[in-house]
Amino acid sequence: LLQSASRPAILAEVEDLRTRPWGYPAREIIKFLVSAKYRWFALGADGSLQPASIDLPSYDANLVAFPQERVEEFRDMLAKSVASLGGLWTAGQRICWVD
């Protein structure tokens, strides 16, 4: 799946509290997908996607990983989705991409 022609975006709970009982730190999830050429993004309180740090000693977050070669595609899809929603959202509900 991670090596297919159309690799998926991944929404992951990257949290040491969850991985510790299984014997590994959450940062191993980050490192594994970085080695598979994925880029990580954090979800902002306002719905924005912001580049996530990939070298923290511990994690407690829900993060999104996009395949490096599909980042622009997902960026375009996100922009189209926001545009199609038009006036359905209030000022506090927005999605944007921050690089």
Residues 6+ apart with CB under 8 A from 71: 39
How much is the pLDDT for 73?
A: 87
User: Per-block average pLDDT, block size 10, for the chain (99 residues)?
Assistant: 86 95 97 96 79 94 94 81 56 46
How much is the pLDDT for 86?
A: 59
55 exposed, middle or buried (CB, 10 Å; 0-12, 13-18, 19+)?
A: exposed
Q: Where are the beta strands (DSSP E) in the chain?
A: 10-15, 38-43, 49-51, 60-67
Question: Is residue 43 a contact partner of residue 90, using CB atoms and an 8 Å limit?
Answer: no
